[in-house]
């Protein structure tokens, strides 16, 4: 029987595959899978920009699909794997869906609500708390994000330089025009 750690890594790799789909669309690479009785029943990746919809986070999509498969809004007995610590919306949805166990890749100190800013997943005041595992394949998960932002900055810089060069061309051709008229 595989150890818990190797199982967690196995499913986190599946979540990473989803995250790479987001990256291919130019989206921040975050991916999620939901596992029930050893089977993946929901997958999702960030499509916020593509769908122009703030609800299209990886976890929400995976929860929607998993609920469809088990025909219940309650995802009892499921484990959710996500490459980045969930935001307040997704952590809220995880608790609403009664998901008992959450496995995360890297943490999100600026927006995470699975222990960074808040720990919505484990508040004793709510009627449900999840068991939380942090840092599974954290390096791979954060590397993917880091590389995405490096590429994005480079693309933005190239874009700026290109538009600067094009504006420069327009100005110089306008000048040519004006000097042509005056002569
Ligand atoms: Zn979210």
Quick check: helix, strand or coil at residue 35?
strand
User: Which spans in the chain are helix H?
Assistant: 4-24, 58-70, 88-96, 138-182
Residue 101 has pLDDT above 90, yes or no: yes
If you measure from the C-alpha of residue 52 to the centroid of ligand 1, how many angstroms do you get, rounded to a whole number?
Answer: 14
Q: What is the mean pLDDT of the chain?
A: 93
- Res. 183 pLDDT band, cuts 50 70 90: very low
| Mean pLDDT, range 113-141, rounded to an integer | 98
Of all residues in the chain, the percent with pLDDT exceeding 70 is 92
CA of 4 to the centre of ligand 1 (A): 26
Q: Is pLDDT above 70 for 73?
A: yes
In which residue are the tokens 């975050």 written? Answer: 30
pTM (whole model) above 0.85: yes
Reduced to 3 states (helix: H, G, I; strand: E, B; else coil), residue 42 is: strand
Q: How far is the CA of 45 from the centre of ligand 1 (A)?
A: 10
Ligand 1 center–CA 62 separation, angstroms? 11
What amino acid positions are annotated as catalytic residues?
59
Comparison of pLDDT for 145 and 179, the residue scoring more:
145
Q: Is residue 47 a contact partner of residue 56, using CB atoms and an 8 Å limit?
A: yes
Q: Contact at 8 Å (CB) between 106 and 142?
A: yes
* pLDDT, average across residues 70-85: 98
Q: Is the pLDDT of residue 2 over 90?
A: no
- For residue 181, what pLDDT band results from cuts at 50, 70 and 90? very low
């Amino acid at each position: 029987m595989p150890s818990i750690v190797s199982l967690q890594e196995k499913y986190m790799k599946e979540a990473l595959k989803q995250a790479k789909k987001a990256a291919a669309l130019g989206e921040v690479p975050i991916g999620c899978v939901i596992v029930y009785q050893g089977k993946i029943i929901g997958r999702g990746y960030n499509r916020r920009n593509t769908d122009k919809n703030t609800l299209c986070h990886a976890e929400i999509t995976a929860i929607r699909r998993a609920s469809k498969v088990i025909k219940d809004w309650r995802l009892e007995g499921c484990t959710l794997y996500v490459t980045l610590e969930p935001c307040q919306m997704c952590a809220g949805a995880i608790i609403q869906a009664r998901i008992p166990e959450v496995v995360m890749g890297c943490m999100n100190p600026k927006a995470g609500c699975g222990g960074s800013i808040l720990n919505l997943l484990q508040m004793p005041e709510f009627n449900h708390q999840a068991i939380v595992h942090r840092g599974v394949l954290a390096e791979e998960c954060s590397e993917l994000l880091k590389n995405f932002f490096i590429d994005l900055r480079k693309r933005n810089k190239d874009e700026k330089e290109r538009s600067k060069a094009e504006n420069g061309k327009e100005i110089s051709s306008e000048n040519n025009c004006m000097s042509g008229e005056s002569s």
